[in-house]
Amino acid sequence: MEVSRDKLLCAICLEVLKSPATLPCGHSFCLECIGRLWEQPFSGGAYSCPQCRESFSPRPRLQRNTVLCGLLEAEADEEPGPPGLPAPGDVACDFCRGGSGGGRRRRAARSCLLCLASYCEEHLGPHRHSPAFQDHPLTAQPVPDIQERKCKVHRKHLELFCRSDKTFICCVGVTAEHREHQVVSLEEEAHTRKKELYQTDLEMEKQLQATLLEIGTVQDNIDSITRTTQQTELDITNKFSAMIDAINEALKVVIGLIRREQQAALNQANRIRSLLEQKCTELKEKKLQLEILTNKTDLFKFVQESLSFSSSSQISDVPKLKSDLHSKLASASEAATELTVQVKDCLRRAMKRKLKSTESRGNEKVARLSDMSPHTSVLPQEPKIRNEVSQSGTTLPSRSISQVSSSGRHCRCHEAGF
């Protein structure tokens, strides 16, 4: 007969029924599960089916359902697994038939720490009901290495612990090899170690909190470094942009002056060219009149007209082109070259001095690089620029482009006429 495995599950532990007991309502549960459930304090003396909630009064007598037990045993015999074990990793009952008998041992339900053996639900009955086994402690789950808890020399239960050798011993070993050693019970050793582990846990918790606090501090420093660096970069970029704007403004002024000088020179040259062209036209007309006069055959007319031609043959002189534009442009270019060298040198020395001072004062002085005013300029001083421009013959306007005030020194660059 084939039965679905889901039909053989206990509704309490959700595992395959172990020693199933059937209630009057017809539902079946593990004998141990339903008994433990009805013994809980919250039951309040009321006994009901966990599945259909039907109440029973008085408490029904719980007995194993032999039909279900036989069905479960037959299913267990048909389950695949290594010889002698119900399934891989399960602990087998030490009292079931097996070995040379050809039978199959059932899966153990619990282990006895005093008998050092594991029992299935069927063979666990004496430990549950017999007064002779009421002092035998049972584990909640079967212990796979239960035989390892037996002394290999004296075949006794390892119920003591030698602190001197840090090993488990039996009661016989106390009077033999460990007579003068510090020997305590397993309960006392476990209690002591629990206290030590508790103190260790407290200490580790303190270290953990301290470490987390340090991590938070380091993270704050990282955020501060990133934030300060970005702000400093922005400030420095703005200041250099201001310097570049000032230089571009000065460049526009200088280029404007150069173009005005160019326009003035071109106007003068064009005016002289117009006068020369007019003079050329007049000379051509005079030359034509002269040719006509020389070809006359009437001597009287020739002499008469030649006298009139001589008196009106004067043509006004055209002024010469006078311009020192080339010298002015050369002087302006030379002044701009010298100004560029001075700006670069001043900027290099200023940055070198600032950076060196910052390194010597430490990271807390990094922000000092941003102390320069937005109008800071590293251009040469005003008097020298005025003298250089004056030598080029160019007039300086009075409007100032930028003014610097840094560390008590003043440096101005006015709009120059070059």
Q: Domain holding 23: CATH number? A: 3.30.40.10
**Residue 329: which domain range?**
199-414
Place of tokens 């002394």: 151
Residue 102 lies in a domain: no
Report the percent of the chain where pLDDT is more than 70: 73
Interhelix angle 186-294/325-361, rounded to 10 degrees, is 170
Decide if 63 is inside a domain.
Answer: yes
Is residue 311 a part of any domain in this protein?
Answer: yes
pLDDT at 205: 93
Boundary of a domain, candidates 42, 63, 78: 78
pLDDT at 307: 83
Q: What is the Rg, in whole angstroms, of the alpha carbon atoms belonging to the chain? A: 58
Give the domain-ending residue among 53, 78, 103.
Answer: 78
Measure the CA angle with vertex 45, ends 39 and 47; round to 5°: 80
Tens-digit pLDDT profile for residues 241-293: 998 999 899 899 989 989 998 898 899 899 989 999 998 998 898 888 888 88
Whether 74 and 203 map to the same domain: the answer is no
The SS3 of residue 203 is helix
Shared domain for 71 and 206, answered yes or no, is no
Q: Does residue 305 form part of some domain?
A: yes
Reply yes or no: is the peptide bond before residue 319 cis, omega within 30 of 0: no
DSSP 122: T
Q: DSSP strand E in 31-180: where?
A: 47-48, 55-56, 110-112, 117-119, 160-162, 167-169
In this prediction, the residues of the chain whose per-residue pLDDT falls under 70 are 1-6, 41-46, 75-89, 97-103, 155, 174, 176, 179, 310-316, 358-418
pLDDT tens profile 171-214: 777 676 776 788 888 788 888 889 999 999 999 999 999 999 99
Whether residue 67 is contained in a domain is answered as yes
Q: Is residue 87 part of a domain?
A: no
* Strand-pair partners of 119: 110
Kindly state whether residue 374 falls inside one of the protein's structural domains: yes
- Of 21, 53, 78, the one marking the end of a domain is 78
Q: How many domains does the chain have?
A: 2
- Please state, in angstroms and as integers, the Cα–Cα distance from residue 368 to each residue in 353, 361, 372, following that order: 12, 10, 8
Residue 121 forms part of a structural domain? no
> Are 224 and 365 contained in the same domain?
yes
Phi, psi of 403 (to 5 degrees): -140, 135
Q: CA 87, CA 105: separation in Å to the nearest integer?
A: 11
Return the closest-CA partner of residue 205 out of 193, 192, 213, 217.
213
This prediction has a pTM of 0.39
